[in-house]
Amino acid sequence: MNAYSGAAAAAERLVGAAVYGRPNGSQLPTGTARGILLRRHNLKIAGGSISCSISGDGGKGLTYKDAGVDIDAGTELVRRIAKMAPGIGGFGGLYPLGDSYLVASTDGVGTKLKLAFETGIHDTIGIDLVAMSVNDIVTSGAKPLFFLDYFGTSQLDVDLAEKVIKGIVNGCKQSDCALLGGETAEMPDFYAKGEYDLSGFAVGIVKKDALIDGKNIKLGDVLIGFPSSGVHSNGFSLVRRVLAQSGLSLDDQLPGHDGRPFSLGEALMAPTVIYVKQVLDIISKGGVNGIAHITGGGFTDNIPRVFPPGLGAKIFTNSWHVPAVFKWLQEAGNIDDTEMRRTFNMGIGLVAVVAPEAAERILAESDSVYRIGVVVDGEGVEHVSHA
């Protein structure tokens, strides 16, 4: 897990497990990963620093600031936590165990839950919950071992909760990990009627000599992009603001979508892709030097987190298909390119940085991934239209 920015209402870390219908499970030592809960947003940051997205069109387009994100408060809280827990900021926290590392991550699904309440789609939000943590730990090359969840509500609706848990079970199957347990908390008057909150916690393992940490990334390495299903589980503070401004409802058809009828609700609620099995298979064949999970902060903030000093990325913006939902968000919200790229995944949910020969093999074996960029001298991310 990495740090979040914004108005931090709480900070959480993985300390153990409460198992459904059984006594508390054994506790695990705390790793170095740290999450700060952002009000209505899930922008992730690297190493305790925060980048503020600002519209370049004179303030006419929507930004995170418009959506209620308090960057200054988030920066201050991260600074204070970093004093107490040095080393935070990675996608997953590492805990040494013999010749291996346990890799741990914790996350939620942000205000995508608000859309779940509005659409009545509860059977896939659990997939999102699992995805946000297991996709983080696989960036280290770790295989997920088990998952724990927290479900909090004011009054327990058993049928609704069952739908949510079924999604979590589905996500665990997709990532080949065990749903070890969780906590169901019924807290009268705490949540609005019919609403709930979710948190998830995943632990995986990787041999120390197989850890992927970006240190082997070299000039000329290739960036391979793995397609997303849409917005995934980040940026929904801005999504909801755009939706409100657009005058459309979640039942309206997604503008610009080709193919079968597809509502905005369906597009926005599409579950986050779980990349675990695909990525572990590619890792097993060698040549993978770094992996970035593209969550809040987009390419701009997430890709540089895995790079060694002095190296950056050149992204070829025309090298993959950008889903219609992002085009609608940009047009309806009058959001400039920089803000879009620092907020949303833009159709690429995970990026692997691989050696050139590995890139050739990966691209030859799969037609579902893209060569989206290359490693260059200089830090940061540059976007160009052609290779």
Which domain covers residue 324, as residue numbers? 222-384
- SS3 per-residue string spanning 187-233: CCCCCCCCCEEEEEEEEEEEEHHHCCCCCCCCCCCEEEEEECCCCCC
CA neighbor of 344 nearest in space, from 239, 249, 202, 250: 239
pLDDT band at residue 67 using 50, 70 and 90 as cut-offs: low
Within-domain flag for 161: yes
Q: Over the stretch 309-337, which tens digit does the pLDDT of each residue have?
A: 999 999 999 999 999 999 999 999 999 99
Can you give the pTM of this predicted structure? 0.83
Residue 10 has pLDDT above 80, yes or no: no
Domain edge (last residue) among 168, 188, 209? 209
Within-domain flag for 215: no
Q: Are residues 120 and 255 in the same domain?
A: no
| pLDDT mean over 174-190 | 96
| pLDDT mean over 213-236 | 97
User: What mean pLDDT, rounded, does the chain reach?
Assistant: 84
Supply the pLDDT for residue 217.
98
Within-domain flag for 214: no
Q: Are residues 280 and 178 in the same domain?
A: no
Least confident of 22-36, 48-62, 144-158: 22-36
Q: Are residues 181 and 61 in the same domain?
A: yes
Q: Are residues 252 and 165 in the same domain?
A: no
Phi/psi for 385 (5° steps) reads -85, -25
Query: Which CATH number do you get for residue 164?
Result: 3.30.1330.10
Within-domain flag for 205: yes
Q: Are residues 254 and 300 in the same domain?
A: yes
Quote the CA–CA distance of 342 and 356 in Å, as a whole number. 27
Quote the CA–CA distance of 170 and 274 in Å, as a whole number. 11
Q: Are residues 199 and 244 in the same domain?
A: no
Domain edge (last residue) among 153, 179, 209? 209
Within-domain flag for 188: yes
Q: Are residues 293 and 367 in the same domain?
A: yes
Within-domain flag for 352: yes
Within-domain flag for 263: yes
Supply the pLDDT for residue 69.
59
Domain edge (last residue) among 209, 244, 278? 209
% of the chain surpassing 90 pLDDT: 72
Q: Are residues 124 and 47 in the same domain?
A: yes
Query: Which CATH number do you get for residue 256?
Result: 3.90.650.10
The counts of H helices and E strands in the chain are 11, 15
Quote the CA–CA distance of 211 and 353 in Å, as a whole number. 14
- Specify the residue for token string 């509005």: 118
pLDDT band at residue 35 using 50, 70 and 90 as cut-offs: very low
> Assign residue 298 a region: left if phi > 0, alpha if psi is -120 to 50, beta otherwise?
left
